[in-house]
């Protein structure tokens, strides 16, 4: 009886187990995982007293039944993980689902044996050995290898063998373009005694008027008036002798001396202008213009003839003769009874010789004594200001003259040195136009009425 009952119940219990047995479905991992085999711990088979619990009629029925053909027990299946090397990207712990079971490669497992009982047995939950999440092998962070830039190989500088001082080049002179007409080929070989009286410089020329060489010169910090094309020397008193900076020839004059009556007093405004052309091979063709003179020993009739002195008006009744060099043009004239002044046109004065006396202009409640020097230097380029006509003069007047002459800045274009009869002047260096460093003219030449005798 016991054997028959066992034969009947055992297949039924096995069938129930096969239907309820969960299949662990593991989603395919993009990264292969190590294989593991789930282990099942079979429950111990209880040994119930079956005969005591089975009714008599059931026993009789079962005993009368033929012996059934044993039904083979189904084999539990599971889906294994494929074996491969784990990578750094892993799925979390597999989620058990009732999804359809893919066809796996079966792994042989042992078939657990269950002893049938009258009470349906709960499906034994498999003791799942959790799949350990493999710790990804960290990829080594590459340490950047710094390859320093190769230090460039220095090209050895050639060692110059000391050699004798070469002949100075023509461009070495300060501020003088190579195209100028200067005979200077180098700065003075010695600067002893050169440019020692820059304190005598007054207001320089307007930089806008300078078209050759350095633009700025004169006393620093003093702004010239617009159109000024000369530099003042501020060492003179009224009637002080003015000396020639270079050998030069008188080519023209304009007598602009005037006066005003202020508070019953006659106030002089010295405006005599003299024009010279260089007679030195150092500066061929250079023009020297001097303004604000009181008088000159080269005008024999000046302040000697009543018709050649000063006038009260500022009109056009000026006396002028010879070649005059204005800011934007030059021309030849003879007007205003200029003959009364008896100018020694063509007379040559040597460097350091007397050619005029400093004048005075009104300055507020007082006066200001000085002399202005302007220099126009010849060049191969045209003066861009030539023919400029701000006063609206006739075109026939402003379009005359030499368009290749340029105003320069006297304080920075030239080198200067004090004059004395035994002084040696390097090529191109000009003499200061005043007595200095102990040099004095003869006493009679300090008299403003001193006049030269015409040379034969």
| Tens digits of residue pLDDT in 33-83 | 444 444 444 444 444 454 554 455 545 544 555 554 544 444 444 444 443
Q: Strand, coil or helix: what is 316? A: coil
Residue 180's pLDDT is what?
Answer: 57
Which tokens belong to 403?
Answer: 């368009």
Q: CA of 261: how far to CAs of 113, 268, 269, 293, in Å?
A: 150, 9, 11, 20
Residue 445: phi and psi, rounded to 5, are -85, 5
For 112-131, what is each residue's pLDDT tens digit? 444 444 444 444 444 444 44
Residue 6's pLDDT is what?
Answer: 57
Residue 13's pLDDT is what?
Answer: 63
Cβ atoms 218, 207 nearer than 8 A: no
If you count them, how many residues does the chain have?
456
Of 104, 130, 135, give the one whose Cα is nearest residue 27.
Answer: 104
Provide the strand spans (E) within 42-185.
none
Q: CA of 270: how far to CAs of 65, 99, 224, 324, 358, in Å?
A: 163, 123, 19, 18, 8
Q: Which residues have CB under 8 Å from 44's CB, separation 6+?
A: none
Residue 106: phi and psi, rounded to 5, are -65, 145
Number of Cβ atoms within 10 Å of the Cβ of 268:
17
Of 66, 46, 44, 54, give the one whose Cα is nearest residue 2.
Answer: 54
Residue 393's pLDDT is what?
Answer: 81
How far apart are the C-alpha atoms of 26 and 91, rounded to whole Å?
11
Residue 62's pLDDT is what?
Answer: 43
Number of Cβ atoms within 10 Å of the Cβ of 328:
20
Cβ atoms 218, 202 nearer than 8 A: yes
Which of left, alpha, beta for 386 (phi over 0: left; psi -120 to 50: alpha)?
A: beta
Angle among Cα 293, 297, 299 to the nearest 5 degrees reads 80
* Angle, helices 2-20/56-64, rounded to nearest 10 degrees: 90
Q: Which residues have CB under 8 Å from 251's CB, separation 6+?
A: 275, 276, 277, 322, 323, 345, 346
CA gyration radius for the chain?
62
pLDDT below 50 — which residues of the chain? 20-27, 29-30, 32-48, 50, 53-54, 58, 61-62, 68, 70-134, 136, 138, 140-174, 183
Number of Cβ atoms within 10 Å of the Cβ of 90:
15
Residue 268's pLDDT is what?
Answer: 87
Q: What residue ranges define each of the domains in the chain, with the CATH number in brackets?
A: 1-25+32-82+106-125 (no CATH), 198-446 (2.70.70.10)
How far apart are the C-alpha atoms of 166 and 169, rounded to whole Å?
9
DSSP letter for each residue of 208-252: GG--SS-S--SSTT-PPPTT--SEEE----TT-EEE-SS-EEEEE
What DSSP designation does 348 have?
E
Q: Strand, coil or helix: what is 198? A: helix
Of 81, 77, 79, give the one whose Cα is nearest residue 111.
Answer: 77
Cβ atoms 256, 336 nearer than 8 A: no
Residue 318's pLDDT is what?
Answer: 86
Residue 287's pLDDT is what?
Answer: 98
What DSSP designation does 326 have?
-
Cβ atoms 407, 209 nearer than 8 A: yes
Number of Cβ atoms within 10 Å of the Cβ of 67:
9
Cβ atoms 299, 320 nearer than 8 A: no
């Amino acid at each position: 009886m016991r054997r028959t009952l066992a034969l009947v119940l055992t297949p039924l219990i096995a069938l129930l187990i096969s239907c309820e047995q969960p299949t662990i479905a593991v989603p395919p991992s993009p990264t292969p995982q190590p294989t593991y085999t789930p282990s099942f711990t079979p429950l111990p088979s209880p040994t119930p007293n079956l005969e005591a619990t089975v009714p008599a009629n059931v026993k009789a029925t079962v005993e009368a039944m033929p012996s059934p053909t044993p039904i083979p027990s189904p084999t539990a299946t599971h889906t294994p993980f494929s074996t491969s090397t784990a990578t750094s990207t892993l799925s979390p712990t597999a989620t058990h689902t009732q999804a359809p079971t893919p066809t796996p490669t079966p792994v042989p497992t042992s078939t657990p044996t269950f002893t049938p009982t009258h009470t349906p047995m709960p499906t034994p939950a498999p003791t799942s050995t959790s799949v350990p999440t493999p710790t990804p092998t960290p990829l080594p962070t590459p340490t950047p290898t710094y390859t320093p830039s190769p230090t460039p190989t220095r090209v050895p500088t050639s060692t110059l063998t000391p050699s004798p001082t070469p002949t100075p080049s023509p461009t070495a002179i300060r501020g003088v373009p190579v195209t100028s007409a200067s005979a200077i080929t180098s700065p003075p070989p010695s600067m002893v005694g050169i440019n020692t009286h820059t304190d005598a410089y007054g207001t320089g020329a307007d930089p806008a008027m300078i078209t050759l060489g350095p633009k700025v010169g004169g006393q620093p910090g003093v702004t010239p008036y617009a159109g000024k094309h000369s530099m003042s020397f501020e060492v003179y008193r009224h009637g002080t002798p003015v000396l020639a900076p270079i050998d030069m020839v008188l080519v023209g004059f304009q007598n602009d001396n005037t006066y005003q009556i202020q508070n019953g007093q006659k106030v002089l405004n010295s405006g005599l202008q003299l024009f010279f052309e260089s007679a030195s091979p150092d500066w061929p063709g250079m023009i020297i213009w001097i303004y604000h003179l009181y008088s000159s020993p080269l005008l024999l009739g000046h302040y000697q003839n009543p018709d050649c002195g000063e006038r009260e008006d500022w009109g056009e009744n000026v006396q002028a003769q010879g070649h005059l060099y204005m800011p934007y043009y030059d021309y030849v004239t003879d007007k205003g009874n200029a003959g009364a002044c008896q100018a020694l046109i063509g007379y040559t004065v040597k460097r350091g010789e007397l050619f005029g006396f400093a004048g005075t202009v009104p300055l507020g409640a007082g006066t200001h004594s000085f002399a202005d020097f302007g220099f126009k230097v010849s060049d191969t380029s045209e003066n861009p200001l030539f023919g400029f006509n701000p006063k609206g003069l006739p075109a026939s007047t402003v379009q005359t003259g030499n368009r290749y002459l340029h105003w320069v800045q006297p304080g920075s274009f030239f080198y200067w040195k004090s004059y004395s009869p035994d002084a040696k002047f390097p090529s191109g260096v000009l003499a200061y136009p005043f007595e200095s460093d102990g040099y004095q003219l003869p006493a009679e030449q300090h008299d403003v009425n001193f006049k030269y005798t015409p040379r034969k």
